[in-house]
Chain A
Amino acid sequence: MSTTIEAATAPPLPDEAPLADDVRVVAPMLTGGRALGLAPVSGATWAGAGQIVLAAAVSLAASVLLVTGVALGVGLVVLVVGVPLLVLTLVLARGYGAGERARLRAQLGVVVLPPAPGPGAPYHPRTWWPWLRDARSWAAVAHALLTCLLAWTAGSVAFSLAAFALVVPAAPFAGRVNALHLVLLVPGAVVALWLAALVVQLTNLAQVRLTRTLLGGRSRAEAERAARAAEQRADVAEDRAEHLRETRTAAVVAADEERRRIERDLHDGAQQRLVALGVELGVARRTAAQDPAAAVAAIDAAHGEVKEVLAELRDLVRGVHPAVLTDRGLDAALSALAARCPVPVDVDAQGVGDGVGPQAQAAAYFVVAEALTNLAKHATATRATVRAAVDGDRLRIEVADDGAGGAHTAPGGGLDGLRRRVEALDGTFHLVSPAGRGTVLTVEVPCAS
């Protein structure tokens, strides 16, 4: 099964056209070839001319309105009414921006993505200050002024050139024109016509770039930063999911191995002893009449068997889950472990247990149990300490000894199973055991587990 983290996938980059795309759409003659040859009659030129005319009209009206609003607002700031007036102007500027984006789309087929919305409806003074600081709204005001300047200037130049180019063919009918004039004027008219188209297309290119910059959405750099951040979040989430998958599998494996160990212990221990016990009792019954002495010996052997089976079952049951942990808590359970260890063990677990979940307590108990078993078996230690403490929301257990060191978590071994158990609880497991310098096992598990 695979886990997909939907929310963390990177959003697609905004469809922000690079300069080359804008050139292709609104100033195709710059690309040369056919578009250059047919520039005066191309759709881009005529749509562009229309755009300039409308831009000149719209931006002039908008500039007058917005500049008046800003001037009045600034002038009246001392009378307080200036502030809402400024805010209103900025809201209108935003509206102008939306209109401009729609106009460019309709006239040139250029899509400019909107910026993040403004600071909310300005009904409450609380929103006024954010509005006054809203860079995108002020940029819309600037856009109106710059568009006004661009459209009127470039528009005048373009229409003058076009007018010149159209007047020249009429010149022969006006008389007083000689061959020299024609030789100069006709190429001049042709050049003027192409220059007019060039001015129109360049103006539109400038207009589109201006609109993208001042009225557009977030910049490419911003979008890339956001995408990178989203990718990083996705990576973190993926790593986390991978970790959870691994530890979950490991937990299942560990539980399975534990069940198999219990089955083996029961099979090799208690079951065999009980069968042997049955044989002894069967022999006793069979021989009771003829050979009472043999029967008594068999019963004695059976009695010994029963006691050993009980001891074995007691150990086994404690290994499955220690009753003292449930009844008396972690401190008592750890002390009981220490008492059974052949090596002297200092236990410091005062008051640990309140607020520590049963899984965390059980993990702590079995970590200490396994560590002490290993220590008794291999470590040639003379002293050991067990410390359990709650540190924030983590239960921290440390088992240290002064033995031979060199302990490691062999796959399938007891320590390895415990490591997986701890990791399944989102805990950490550190084993430091340099040869000849003792062993320190540190385990942390979330208390809540």
Chain B
Amino acid sequence: MRIVIAEDSVLLLDGLTRLLTAEGHTVTGYRTADELVADLGDPAADLPDVVVTDVRMPPTHTDEGLRAAVHLRGLHPRLPVLVLSQYVEQRYARELFAADARGLGYVLKDRVADVDDFLAALARVAAGGTALDPEVVAQVLARSRRTLSDVLSPREREVIALMAEGRSNAAIAERLVVGLPAVEKHVTSILTKLDLPPDADDHRRVLAVLRWLEDGPTNGARP
């Protein structure tokens, strides 16, 4: 894959470049969000397979990376972007995922250290899937105006959290160390209980689940 990274920390940029190069990818690194936008801001630009960007970068060290990501997605709706952040906030996630969750990721920078997980998330985003950090999912679950425990079994709650992160059924099965049919059974049960379309694919069901969690209790919930 051709990967573009925007990251102001030289150390981390070096580490990621080495890691991804060793995996056989081609990596281009930028130190600021402006450079990233300058390079990919042209509608006719030669797009990489995936963009990885830090949120906080020069010159203001606030949310340049996030704004660059939103801007680039506006120009190239199909461009996969994985946003790395020192802190993950539900608010930022909602801004980023406002239009579409396809080919989008938003994960805590620390996850990079879990190399296998990081590479899996990167591959998922590059393939048009979704990667939402477990911390954001936890925030959504904690702030959810619906009490999941009334509706779902403990196992189903584990499964819905992994679904919200954007994982496929196979990935969920691997994570929970159960068979694929068992996961499929849980997913069907969850979608039925929450009254969500059963045929939704991975990235679409992320949004469906998140929307269900954020909506008020009277809206389509079945006890």
Contact = CB atoms under 8 A, between A and B. Distances in A.
B9 A272 contact: yes
B19 A275 contact: no
Contact of A268 (B9, B109, B114): B9
A283 interface: yes
A280 B15 contact: yes
A273 B11 contact: yes
B110 A264 contact: no
Nearest to A269: B9
A275 to B, nearest CB: 5
A83 to B, nearest CB: 87
Interface size class, chain B: 20 to 34
B109 to A, nearest CB: 5
A294 B22 contact: yes
Contacts of B199: none
B61 A279 contact: no
B61 to A, nearest CB: 7
B61 A276 contact: no
Interface in B101-133: 109-110, 112-116, 118
A345 to B, nearest CB: 33
Interface string B156-192: 0000000000000000000000000000000000000
B9 A282 contact: no
A282 B114 contact: yes
Most chain A CB neighbours (cut-off 10 Å) among B114, B115, B116: B115
B39 interface: no
B15 A276 contact: yes
B99 interface: no
Contacts, number: 54
A285 B14 contact: no
B108 to A, nearest CB: 10
B27 interface: no
Nearest to A284: B115
Contact of B11 (A282, A294, A305): A305
Contacts of A272: 9, 11-12
Contact of B22 (A271, A281, A287): A287
Interface string A225-251: 000000000000000000000000000
A282 B114 CA distance: 6
Interface in B1-37: 9, 11-12, 14-16, 18-19, 22
B86 interface: yes
Contact of A285 (B11, B15, B115, B118): B115
Given A264-B61, A282-B115, A283-B115, A276 B12 contact: yes
B88 to A, nearest CB: 14
B56 interface: yes
7 contacts: A272-B12, A276-B15, A277-B113, A279-B15, A282-B19, A282-B115, A282-B118
Q: Identify the 7 closest CB pairs spanning chains A and B, nearest first.
A: A278-B113, A282-B115, A279-B15, A272-B9, A276-B11, A276-B15, A276-B12
Interface of B: 9, 11-12, 14-16, 18-19, 22, 56, 61, 86, 109-110, 112-116, 118
